[in-house]
Structure 1
Amino acid sequence: MPSPAPYPFGETVVRLRRGLSPGRDDRGHPIPGPLVETPVAGVVVTPRQETPQVGGQEQQARDTVIVGWTVYDPTGTDWETTDQVLIRGVVCEITGEPGDWGRSPFTGTRGVVQFAADRVTG
C-alpha cells in the first residue's frame, strides 16, 4: 500500500525540470534537455499577495494583488530554482532559493520546504 501524501488535504502539483542536454547546437550552446514532468502529491499551495503602496497608482481601489503562490512541501524534498511548477493548470517559475525549514526546535517535528511560485507571462 502506498504511503499517504505528506499533507493529506494538500493538492498535486507537477514539477517541470529539464533533463540532461543532448548536446550543443552549431554555435556551441547547450541544447535544452527534454522536459521531465513529475507529479508531487500532498503539497500545500497558498495564494501570495502583494500590497500596493497606499495612494500609489497601483492601488486603484484595491487592497491586495495576488502575484502567485507560496508552496509548502515536506523538508528534504527536491526543488531547485531552475525548476518550474504546474499549479492548478498554470506554469510558474520558482522565485528565489527554496528554503528548507529543517526541524522545529520546539517540537522536533520536521518542517517544510517553502518557495514562491510566480506565474509565467509572455
Structure 2
Amino acid sequence: MSFPELFGASVPVTVRRRVDGVKDRHGNATVSWVDEVIHVFGVAPRQRTENDVLGRDFSTLSGWEIYAPKGTQISAYDRVVLPEGVCEVVGEPARWDFTPPLGNPVAGVVFTVQLAKG
C-alpha cells in the first residue's frame, strides 16, 4: 500500500513546475513547464469575486485551497491544473504539525491557487 492510499491522499492533481532554461539573445531566461501528478487530501473552494467597475472588462477571480500530505513540494512559481483551468499558486505554502492529546499526529501542507477569467 502506498503512502497516499494509507493516509487518504487520493485526489490526483497535476502541478506544472516552472523550469528556467537557457538565456535568449536578450539575456532573458527562457521558461518551460514540466507536469507532475501529486496526490492530495482535497481541493476546497475558497473565494469567487467579480469585477464590476465601470469602464473595465468583466472578470472573475476564483480560488481554492489544496490540502496535501506532509513533505509535498510546491512553490509560488508553480501552476496547478484543475478542471476549471490552469491556476497560479498564491504566496508560499503553509506547513502544519498538530498532535492532539489523545490521537494520531496530523501534518500537512495547505496552499492556495487562483484562476482569473475575463
Tell whether the structures are fold-level matches, with TM greater than 0.5: yes
Gaps of 5+ in 1: 59-64
Q: CA RMSD in A?
A: 2.9
Gaps of 5+ in 2: 54-59
Deviation of the 1:18 alpha carbon: 1.9
Distance 1:79 1:109 in 2: 22
Distance 2:12 2:89 in 1: 16
The count of corresponding residues between Structure 1 and Structure 2 is 108
Is 1:94 aligned with 2:93?
Answer: no
| Counterpart for residue 12 of structure 2 | 12
1:54-73 to structure 2, matched below 5 A, reads: 67-73=62-68
Tell me the TM-score normalized by structure 1: 0.72
- Distance change (3 Å), C-alpha of 1:66 and 1:24: closer
Distance 1:87 1:115 in 2: 14
Question: What is the percent sequence identity of the aligned residues?
Answer: 28
Higher helix share: 2
- Distance change (3 Å), C-alpha of 1:66 and 1:120: closer
Deviation of the 1:12 alpha carbon: 1.1
Deviation of the 1:20 alpha carbon: 4.0
Tell me the TM-score normalized by structure 2: 0.74
Deviation of the 1:93 alpha carbon: 0.4
